[in-house]
Chains A and B, each alone.
Chain A
């Protein structure tokens, strides 16, 4: 299933770019809310609820706080939205279109995937609200903390295969077939939980503590774009981890392997949601000590294992 004939700008806008990621991001958001509801013995929202939420926000009034940095406040959500659309398109092109990647695209994707967090930080500091700035500073600390073990664990398949292009990594057997890959997957799972600001690492947007945290002054379309970006990250990050560590979603080798790939992705999402529902929130300093301590040590152990050929 090559997507070569479709022109590049259309790929960016529709599939596998903005529209595809947005729709499936909202579907993943629904999976999250439904599984959360079921775990709490409730019924949960209907399937189209996340779509309703985003569309409703587009027709509400946008209010910019007095004294806030207006241009930065309104443009901050767009950076994250553009970044996650681009990252998703690059990942799916590497999985679907042979020869579509470029040297170092794995590193580019890693960099681009940090931009949504940075856009939240920018937006929160542009809000001129002390609660928002607390949320933003927590997000900054968390970003510094989890990026380190995440990058190390994503580099384990690079060490295993000796290749840096995403589609060349996909051409080799999945990283989890080796013990170092399994350890790397565990570390990547925990880092992904923090990257998506889900419990136990959702200190930046603690609802009960910070009444909305970094997003407190946002309303209307900018808030809608922030929520859409969160949903798209919830879709893109598990796909990225599946692509790098678990062998990707292979559309070339027949329907069975494609379904298996989709099941890997759904399994990761359900795991994230279950962790989200069973853990309490940790403080920022506990999170930073955890990521720079045990998590990095385990990731380095996985990298060493991979280096010695295991």
Chain B
């Protein structure tokens, strides 16, 4: 799982890290955090992506070996939330990067991330 943050307020980043701690423990599903985009199978988009980070995020997405799943984590990644009409936001990140799952919340609880993982596994299994 690769965490791709784009000018976030960092609450979502904190919640993602929470999900890896012993209390919620994502590793029991075999999920680990990787440092390099080339090792990633899931990209977690966190934060609202402004003009500068959009371009870089698109470049990073293109470097990920396919097949890769993209999850938009948090209300800002889903559609901009309160920043959608802001001067430096060009639209939701879903316009540039094909998103497979949207996880709304500000920030989404770790339990929501685990539920999303379970739903994604079900969706992938059924094709």
* Contact A211 to B36, CB < 8 A, known contacts A60-B67, A63-B63, A220-B65: yes
Q: How far is the CB of A214 from chain B (nearest CB, A)?
A: 11
Inter-chain contact B25/A42, CB cutoff 8 Å: yes
Inter-chain contacts of B28 with A (CB < 8 A): 37, 42-46
* Most central of B29, B36, B41, B67 by chain A CB within 10 Å: B36
* B34 interface contact, C-beta 8 A: yes
Inter-chain contacts of A61 with B (CB < 8 A): 65-67
* Contact A52 to B30, CB < 8 A, known contacts A211-B36, A215-B36: yes
* B51 interface contact, C-beta 8 A: no
Q: Of the candidates A33, A56, A208, A218, which one forms a contact with B41 in the assembled complex, judged by CB atoms under 8 Å apart?
A: A56
A13 to B62, CA, bound (A): 38
* B127 interface contact, C-beta 8 A: no
Within 8 A of A (CB), among B30-48: 30, 34-36, 38-39, 41
Inter-chain contact A216/B38, CB cutoff 8 Å: yes
* Contact A207 to B38, CB < 8 A, known contacts A42-B22, A60-B67, A61-B65: no
Q: Beta-carbon contacts of B100-114 to A below 8 Å, as 1s and 0s?
A: 000000000000000
* B90 interface contact, C-beta 8 A: no
* A217 interface contact, C-beta 8 A: yes
Interface range, B side: 10 to 19
A103 to B41, CA, bound (A): 48
* B96 interface contact, C-beta 8 A: no
Inter-chain contact B27/A45, CB cutoff 8 Å: yes
Interface size on A, residues (CB 8 A): 29
* A212 interface contact, C-beta 8 A: yes
Inter-chain contact B39/A215, CB cutoff 8 Å: yes
A42 to B32, CA, bound (A): 13
* A210 interface contact, C-beta 8 A: yes
Closest to A129 in B: B36
* A284 interface contact, C-beta 8 A: no
Inter-chain contact A62/B30, CB cutoff 8 Å: no
Inter-chain contact A208/B35, CB cutoff 8 Å: yes
Q: How far is the CB of A59 from chain B (nearest CB, A)?
A: 8
* A223 interface contact, C-beta 8 A: yes
Q: How far is the CB of B31 from chain A (nearest CB, A)?
A: 9
* A219 interface contact, C-beta 8 A: yes
* A11 interface contact, C-beta 8 A: no
Inter-chain contact A60/B66, CB cutoff 8 Å: yes
* Contact A223 to B27, CB < 8 A, known contacts A41-B22, A62-B65: no
* A53 interface contact, C-beta 8 A: yes
Inter-chain contacts of B65 with A (CB < 8 A): 60-63, 219-220
Q: Beta-carbon contacts of B48-77 to A below 8 Å, as 1s and 0s?
A: 000000000000000101110000000000
Closest to B34 in A: A212
Inter-chain contact B36/A212, CB cutoff 8 Å: yes
Can you list 28 A-B pairs, Cβ within 8 angstroms, ordered by A?
Answer: A33-B27, A41-B22, A42-B22, A42-B25, A42-B27, A42-B28, A43-B25, A43-B27, A43-B28, A45-B28, A46-B28, A46-B30, A60-B67, A61-B67, A63-B38, A63-B63, A63-B65, A207-B34, A207-B35, A208-B35, A211-B35, A212-B34, A212-B35, A212-B38, A215-B36, A219-B39, A219-B65, A223-B39
Q: Which A residues contact B (CB, under 8 angstroms)?
A: 33, 37, 40-46, 49, 52-53, 56, 60-63, 207-208, 210-212, 215-220, 223
Closest 10 CB pairs of A and B: A211-B35, A212-B36, A219-B38, A61-B65, A219-B65, A43-B28, A212-B35, A42-B25, A42-B22, A216-B36
Q: Which B residues contact A (CB, under 8 angstroms)?
A: 22, 25, 27-30, 34-36, 38-39, 41, 63, 65-67
